[in-house]
Amino acid sequence: MGFQTLELRIEGSLAIILLNRPQALNAINLAMVGELEQAVRQVRDDSGVRVVVITGAGDKAFAAGADITEFKAMSPIDAWMFVQRLQRLFLEIERLPKPVIAAVNGYALGGGCELMMACDMIYASDAARIGQPEINLGIIPGAGGTQRLARLIGKQRAKELVLTGEMIGAQEAWGLGLLNKVVPADQLMVEVRKLADKLATKAPLAIKAAKEAIEDGYDMALERALAHEAQLFGLCFATEDRAEGVNAFLEKRPPKFKGK
């Protein structure tokens, strides 16, 4: 399928979703939301894809937020429906049964920061700039920025970033625990591909179960979360990959997981 605002590249077990509006710093407009929905579902349903990378075209931006030019004509109801749609999309990304890596190659602001935070792991170039500047437009983050940010870096630092609308550099974001790794700009995709290659060797059903245990259990009481973890642990024992993993360990060879 042809896309206008993004590119979807399938390279073996790796899917790369490239936000492709560099002239607008890859700002997320309504057309891109619809195409992201399609691309995410396509990689979800492709059994050959084991890892997903989301990044931006060019060397200036991952995504510099929502497309503000579309805000002028939005009514309150339009705006509410727009962010609800973004929230559903970002939840879908967060809950993909496959690892999703954000490769942040520049500005990740507003909706771009919210998209980044919906990914499982975040690698950023040392030139990346990150923030939730919506307060400067007289509005607030609406696609998870007030919620995921607080969960990732704590309420006080989240309030500071949201209420001031200031951008921070990659090293500061890493220090806050918002990023997994900061690398030189020319090495970003090299390092991301190394991580993707490593993740692609893991058992797909175990990856799915691990993500579910962490995401679902995070807001549960510990006792309930432990019970959920135990149930998922038991379900892993019904898979062929569990038998392959155990046999490979005992036979001192690398496992060959099939996602069954």
- Residue 181: which H helix or E strand, with range? strand 181-183
Q: What are the backbone angles phi and psi of residue 242, rounded to the nearest 5°?
A: -65, -45
Radius of gyration for the alpha carbons in the chain, expressed in angstroms and rounded: 19
Which residue in the list 37, 92, 114, 229 is annotated as catalytic? 114
Q: First-to-last CA distance in the chain?
A: 28
Q: Which residues contact 68 (CB under 8 A, 6 or more apart)?
A: 27, 137
Catalytic residue flag (residue 215) = no
Tell me which DSSP letter residue 131 carries: E
Closest by alpha carbon to 108, among 62, 43, 164, 161?
62
Structure token pair of residue 8: 């979807």
Does 92 qualify as catalytic in the annotation? no
Q: Is the dihedral of CA 81, 85, 86, 88 positive or negative?
A: positive
Q: Which of 37, 134, 172, 251 is catalytic?
A: 134
Instruction: Report the alpha-carbon distance of residue 58 to residue 211 in Å, rounded.
Output: 31
CA dist list (Å): 197 to 2, 50, 81 = 27, 9, 38
Show which residues are catalytic: 114, 134
